[in-house]
Amino acid sequence: NMLPLLDPNDIVWGGWDINGTNLGDAMKRSKVLDIDLQNKLYPLMKDIKPLPSIYFPDFIAANQGERADNVLTGTKQEQMDQIRKDIRDFKSSNSLDQVILLWTANTERFSAVEEGVNDTAENILSSIEMGEAEVSASTVFAVASILEGTTFINGSPQNTFVPGVIELARQKKVFIAGDDFKSGQTKMKSVMVDFLVSAGIKPVSIVSYNHLGNNDGKNLSAPSQFRSKEISKSNVVDDMVASNRILFEEDEHPDHVVVIKYVPYVADSKRAMDEYTSEIFMGGKNTIVMHNTCEDSLLATPLIYDLVILGELCRRVQIKKDGEGEDWESFHPVLSLLSYMLKAPLVPNGAPVVNALFTQRCAVVNLMRACLGLAPDNHMTLEHRFESTLAALGEVGNDGPASKKMKLG
């Protein structure tokens, strides 16, 4: 009620897809929603079709070819120009204040970072114009978004933000954020490992197994696409391990294995199983085993809303340092504040990578408090830890609010 945030009902959704099925039939095909809800929504969704999208077969699994019936043609430059036109048309036709793009499509293989191809802003623009093979579809979307002044958020694990894209975003002062939606197993892992390390319990083996049967799982059944996902899932524990040099020596890490299997029968109902083995006092061992079943899409969709709402807020926030003139400064174009919803946080050069979930959440909460002129939240609660302050709080409770602030010394 105090901080004006974007109303979710004011968001107009649109998008692209390499498959041209209307949203009503796509909803039925995915079998995610309850059948009664599908029947109610179908009349509202059957006439909505995605725009033709970019399809570079080399970057996604070969098994996606059968779905690709709604694709753009022409050179990479021509396809990027069409995406830019689509953004402008969508903004204009819906009378929007701003547009935010999210990549929610297939996981791509990693792009090779090559000198002269994607290492600078100038080179990535030139490579798109020349049709270089090592420029992915997600990178073309990101560049199109940046050139249109539109925030771009990467919800998949591949390295969409090659150095040239990051440089371009900084030049144009446009927000980018990534990578990979943090919805289920990885979110729980960032909590569990933070708890273990903070408690002085040393995790030495973390084994994570998943199987799912939706199209995401089908695409990840290809080795190069799985490798992108494996990297984003595996790096989540690094900063928490590094935070405790009593438990872990420099360059020491737990054994960490991630497995993903495609099982069509379970559809969107993803199964995740994790085993955490830790060393405890006097050479003992502690093992925690977890099993989680969830609808993958229904965990990811609220993240999309949250990313859009928080991304829009960040466009309106500026700071000015005391005693340094009248210049107001916006956030760095690499918008690391959104890391709370993302597996593999993209951060500016020189900034630490933070994966601990509650630390990420605290950053978001304290930003909102700062916007309201409130001090950062903390958990010292000194007013509850001394006889004198507890007595003063008791008087406030008995006699009404105190007339002046209580000072702690």
Buried b (16+ CB within 10 A) or exposed e, 325-360: eeeeeebbbbbbbbbbbbbbbbeeeeeeebbbbebb
Instruction: Read off the tokens for 48.
Output: 């909505």
pLDDT, position 109: 92
Query: How many Cα atoms are found within 13 Å in the side-chain-facing hemisphere of 379?
Result: 3
- Write the DSSP symbol of residue 407: P
**CA 289 – CA 34 distance, rounded (Å):** 30
Q: What is the pTM of this model?
A: 0.88
Q: Which residues pair with 181 in a beta bridge?
A: 342
Give the H or E element holding residue 211: strand 202-212
Could you confirm whether 343 is annotated as catalytic?
A: yes
Block residue for tokens 């504040």: 337
Q: Which of 61, 42, 6, 56 is nearest to 260 (CA)?
A: 61
Rounded (5°) CA angle 153-63-87: 30
DSSP per-residue string spanning 92-117: HHTT-S--EEEE-SPPPPPPP--TTT
Q: Which residues pair with 318 in a beta bridge?
A: 330
**Among 182, 187, 218, 229, the one annotated catalytic:** 229
**Among 17, 86, 179, 180, the one annotated catalytic:** 180
Answer yes or no: are the C-beta atoms of 300 and 317 closer than 8 Å. no
**CA 178 – CA 202 distance, rounded (Å):** 29
**Among 218, 270, 274, 296, the one annotated catalytic:** 270
Backbone angles phi, psi at 43, to 5 degrees: -60, -25
Q: Is the peptide bond before 179 cis (omega within 30 degrees of 0)?
A: yes
pLDDT, position 399: 52
Could you confirm whether 182 is annotated as catalytic?
A: no
pLDDT, position 409: 46
pLDDT, position 398: 57
**CA 346 – CA 169 distance, rounded (Å):** 13
Q: pLDDT truncated to tens, each residue of the chain (409 aa)?
A: 789 999 999 999 999 999 999 999 999 999 899 999 999 999 999 999 999 999 999 999 889 999 999 999 999 999 999 999 999 999 999 999 999 999 999 889 999 999 999 999 999 999 999 999 999 999 999 999 999 999 999 999 999 999 999 999 999 999 999 889 998 888 889 899 999 999 999 999 999 998 988 888 888 887 778 777 777 677 788 888 888 889 999 889 999 999 989 999 998 888 999 999 999 999 999 999 999 988 888 999 999 999 999 999 999 999 988 877 778 999 999 999 999 999 989 999 999 989 888 999 999 999 999 999 999 988 888 888 899 888 888 876 555 544 444 444 4
Block residue for tokens 């979110």: 187
Answer yes or no: are the C-beta atoms of 131 and 108 closer than 8 Å. no
pLDDT, position 243: 85
**CA 80 – CA 66 distance, rounded (Å):** 23
Could you confirm whether 270 is annotated as catalytic?
A: yes
**Among 76, 202, 233, 343, the one annotated catalytic:** 343
CB atoms within 10 A of CB 306: 15
**CA 271 – CA 262 distance, rounded (Å):** 11
Give the H or E element holding residue 138: helix 137-147
Instruction: Read off the tokens for 286.
Output: 């502690």
pLDDT, position 166: 97
Answer yes or no: are the C-beta atoms of 160 and 178 closer than 8 Å. yes
Sequence-distant (≥ 6) Cβ neighbours of residue 403 within 8 angstroms: none
**CA 339 – CA 176 distance, rounded (Å):** 11
DSSP per-residue string spanning 169-180: HHHHT--EE-S-
Q: Which residues pair with 288 in a beta bridge?
A: 276
| Helix 35-45 with 23-30: angle, nearest 10 deg | 160
Pairing of strands 100-103, 151-154: parallel
Instruction: Read off the tokens for 141.
Output: 């979307």
Could you confirm whether 49 is annotated as catalytic?
A: no
